[in-house]
Amino acid sequence: MESTVRILKRFIHATVLISLFLLLLNFMVLLLWIGNGISADESPSFVVQKVAKGLDGGPNHYILDPLSQKLLEEQQIWAMLIANTGKVAWEFKLPDEIERTYSLTDVAKFSRSYLMDYPVFVYEHQDGLVVVGYPKGSLAKYQHILQVGWVESLPLRAVLLLIGNIVLALLLSLLIGSKLIHSIRPLTHGIHALADDKEVKIEPKGILADLATSINHASSLLQKKTQSLNSRDEARSNWIAGISHDIRTPLSMVLGYASEIAESDDAPSEHRRLARIIRKQAEHLRSLVHDLNLVSMLEYEMQPIGMKPIRLSALARQVASDFLNNGVDERYTLEVDIADEGSKINGDERLLLRAITNLLQNSIRHNPDGCQIRLQTSYDPGKQICRIVVSDNGKGIAQEELTDLLELPYSVRRNRPRQNGHGLGLPMAARIAKAHGGWLSLISGVGEGFCAVVEVPAVQSNG
Amino acid sequence: MMDELQYKKLLIVEDEREIRDMVDRFLRKEGFTRIYQASNCAEAIDLCRSVTPDIAILDVMLPDGDGFSLLTSLRQISKMPVLFLTARGEDEDRLLGLGLGADDYIVKPFLPRELVLRLKAILRRVYSPYVQEKRPVFPLGSRVIDLESGIVKSQNSESSLTAKELILLSKLYENQNRIVTSDALCQAAWGDDYEGYENTLMVHIRRIREKIEPAPSDPHYLVTVRGLGYKLVVKGE
Q: Residue A1: pLDDT above 70?
A: no
Nearest CA in chain A to B23: A256
- Domain containing residue B54: CATH number: 3.40.50.2300
B139, B152 Cβ separation under 8 angstroms = no
Structural domain includes residue B132? no
Residues B108, A293: C-beta atoms closer than 8 Å: no
B105 and B141, same domain (yes or no): no
Residues B176 and B227 in one domain: yes
Tell me, yes or no, if A303 comes closer than 8 A to chain B by beta carbon: yes
Query: In this complex, do B92 and A304 lie within 8 Å of one another by their Cβ atoms?
Result: yes
Tell whether the model's pLDDT for residue B66 goes beyond 70.
yes
Question: By the CB < 8 Å criterion, does B192 face chain A?
Answer: no
- By the CB < 8 Å criterion, does A297 face chain B? yes
| B178 located within any domain | yes
Rounded distance, CA A299 to CA A240, Å?
Answer: 12
Asked if A259 lies within 8 A of B113 by C-beta distance, the reply is: yes
The CA distance from A305 to A311, in Å, is: 17
**Would you call B108 and A251 a contact, using CB atoms and an 8 Å cutoff?**
yes
Among A244, A253, A260, select the one facing B19 at the smallest CB separation.
A253
Same domain, B22 and B113: yes
How many CB atoms are located within 10 Å of the residue A261 CB? Answer: 17
Residue contact A244–B89, C-beta within 8 A = yes
In a domain, B237, yes or no: no
Picking from B208, B100, B201, B99, the residue whose alpha carbon sits closest to that of residue B152 is B208
For A189, residues 6+ apart whose C-beta sits below 8 A from its C-beta are A202
Q: How close A393 comes to chain B (CA, Å)?
A: 21
Using the Cβ of B182 and the Cβ atoms of chain A, whether some distance falls under 8 Å is answered with yes
The range of the structural domain enclosing residue B210 comes to 137-232
How far is the alpha carbon of B231 from chain A, nearest alpha carbon, in Å? 10
CATH number of the domain where residue B216 is located: 1.10.10.10
**Could you tell me what percent of chain B has a pLDDT over 90?**
16
Q: Which residues contact B209 (CB under 8 A, 6 or more apart)?
A: B216, B219, B222
Say if residue B149 is in the same domain as residue B92: no
Contact in structure between A111 and A118 (CB atoms under 8 Å): no
- How many Cα atoms occupy the beta-carbon half-sphere of B162 within 13 Å? 11
CB-based burial label for B6 (10 Å; 0-12, 13-18, 19+): middle
For residue range B221-234, what is the model confidence (pLDDT) as tens digits? 989 988 889 999 98
Asked if pLDDT for residue A274 goes beyond 90, the answer is yes
The residue out of B101, B127, B153 marking a domain boundary is B127
Residues of A in contact with B107 (CB under 8 A): 248, 290
- Distance of residue A241 Cα from the nearest chain B Cα, in angstroms: 9
The answer on B119 and B9 residing in a single domain is yes
Examine the fold and report which residue of B127, B162, B185 is the final residue of a domain before the chain moves on: B127
- What predicted TM-score, i.e. pTM, was given to this entire model? 0.61
> B77 with B193, same domain?
no
**B141 shares its domain with B78:** no
Task: Say how far apart CA A132 and CA A75 lie, in whole Å.
Answer: 11
User: Within an 8 Å CB–CB cutoff, is residue B184 touching chain A?
Assistant: yes
Q: Are residues B121 and B19 in the same domain?
A: yes
Q: Is the dihedral of CA A257, A258, A262, A267 positive or negative?
A: positive
Question: What is the distance in angstroms between the Cα of A426 and the nearest Cα belonging to chain B?
Answer: 21
- The pLDDT tens digits of the residues spanning A170-224 come to 888 888 888 877 877 788 888 888 888 788 888 877 777 888 888 888 888 988 9
Judged by a CB distance cut-off of 8 A, whether residue B16 touches chain A is: yes
Is the distance from CB of B115 to CB of B23 less than 8 angstroms? yes
Kindly state whether residues B123 and B156 are assigned to the same domain: no
Q: Which three-class secondary structure state does DSSP give residue B170?
A: helix
A 325-364 residues with CB < 8 A to B: 325, 336-338, 341-342
Sequence-separated (6 or more) residues with CB below 8 Å from residue A215: A187, A190, A191, A194, A200, A202
Q: What is the domain count for chain B?
A: 2
Arithmetic mean of pLDDT, A7-32: 85
- A317 → closest Cβ in B29, B92, B228: B228
Q: Which residues of A touch B183 (CB under 8 A)?
A: 311, 313-314, 317-318
Report yes or no: A261 at the B interface, CB cutoff 8 Å. no
* Summary mean pLDDT of chain A: 83
Mark whether B142 and B165 lie in a shared domain: yes
Average pLDDT, chain B: 85
pLDDT band for B91, please (50, 70, 90 cuts).
low
pLDDT higher than 70, residue A304: no
> How many other CB atoms sit within 10 Å of the CB of residue A35?
10
**Distance between CA B210 and CA B202 in Å, rounded?**
12
- The pLDDT confidence band at residue B24, using thresholds 50, 70 and 90, is very high
- Number of A/B CB contacts below 8 angstroms equals 91
Could you tell me if residue B99 is inside a domain? yes
B88 with A249: Cβ contact below 8 A: no
C-alpha dihedral (B25, B30, B36, B41), degrees to nearest 10: -80
Q: Is B26 close to A304, i.e. CB distance below 8 A?
A: no
Residues B147 and B71 in one domain: no
State the average pLDDT over residues B142-167: 87
Of B84, B101, B127, which marks where a domain is finished? B127
Would you say residue A91 has pLDDT above 70? yes
Strands B10-13 and B35-38: parallel
Residue type, A30: L
DSSP-assigned states of every residue in A76-139:
T-EEEEEETTSBEEEEES--TTS-SB--HHHHHHHHHSEETTEEEEEEEETTEEEEEEPPTTS-
On chain B, the residues whose CB falls within 8 A of the CB of A260 are 26, 29, 112
Contact assessment for residue B73 and residue B45, using Cβ atoms and an 8 Å cutoff: yes
Looking at residue A309, its pLDDT comes to: 86
Structure confidence at residue B1 as a pLDDT band (50, 70, 90): very low
Co-location of B162 and B77 in the same domain: no
Supply φ then ψ for residue A78, to 5 degrees.
-100, 165
The predicted pLDDT at position A463 comes to: 42
- How big is chain B by its Cα radius of gyration, in Å? 23
Compare all CA atoms of chain B with the CA of A350 and give the residue at the minimum distance.
Answer: B91
Rg of the Cα atoms in chain A: 52
Task: Give the pLDDT mean for B48-60.
Answer: 89
Distance CA A424, CA A354 (A): 12
Q: What is the pLDDT of residues B188-207, one digit of tens each?
A: 888 877 777 888 899 999 99
> Is residue B223 within 8 angstroms of chain A, CB to CB?
no
Q: Is the pLDDT of residue A167 over 60?
A: yes
Torsions phi, psi of B137, nearest 5? -120, 125
